[in-house]
Amino acid sequence: MCSVREAATILHADADSFFASVEQRDDPRLRGRPVIVGAGVVLAASYEAKAYGVRTAMGGALARRVCPGAVVVPPRMSAYVEASRALFEVFEDAAPLVEGLSIDEAFLDVRGLERIAGAPVEIARRLRRDVRERVALPISVGVARTKFLAKVASGVAKPDGLSSWRPRTSSASCTGSRSSGSGAWGR
């Protein structure tokens, strides 16, 4: 059993390809298609566009060359701000301590909520479900004992997944891999 200091009580929630996901949510014709937000410079790319090698901050001309079938849409900042507000409402309903990092990601401290809300991984599962139901966006969540490890865990979970870091109980160090070893990543 982990001590309180070692317990994984930090969640890192990060919406997946946020701008592109908002575009796909708002326009059903874009779902399942490669979407690029921004013409001059790629502000966001859907996972379908990323599969072709399109990346954020890539020049628009290069992005259209590597993914000629992509749908290029202009950014709609007001839509992203509205989606962000809805996203953060879900975060704030899930945890009393929310630290926003950007328009689409935050750390949530769920320490002390186990008796009333369940284990941190259960809270993370509900958070993902609530974001899907209330905001209709995919989100990846990492659960760990530190912000750094929680952020790494959410990256491991992408796209649209959940990953938790469980420290080894026999050692004070936190080393692991994505394997199913005793101190490792879990989905």
Residue positions annotated with a catalytic role: 105
Crossing angle (nearest 10°) for helices 77-94 and 18-26: 100
Using alpha carbons, select from 88, 148, 137, 85 the residue that is nearest to residue 97: 88
**Residue 103: Cβ-neighbour burial (10 angstroms; 0-12, 13-18, 19+):** middle
Query: How far apart, in whole angstroms, are the C-alpha atoms of residue 83 and residue 5?
Result: 34
Token pair of 148 as six digits: 């750094």
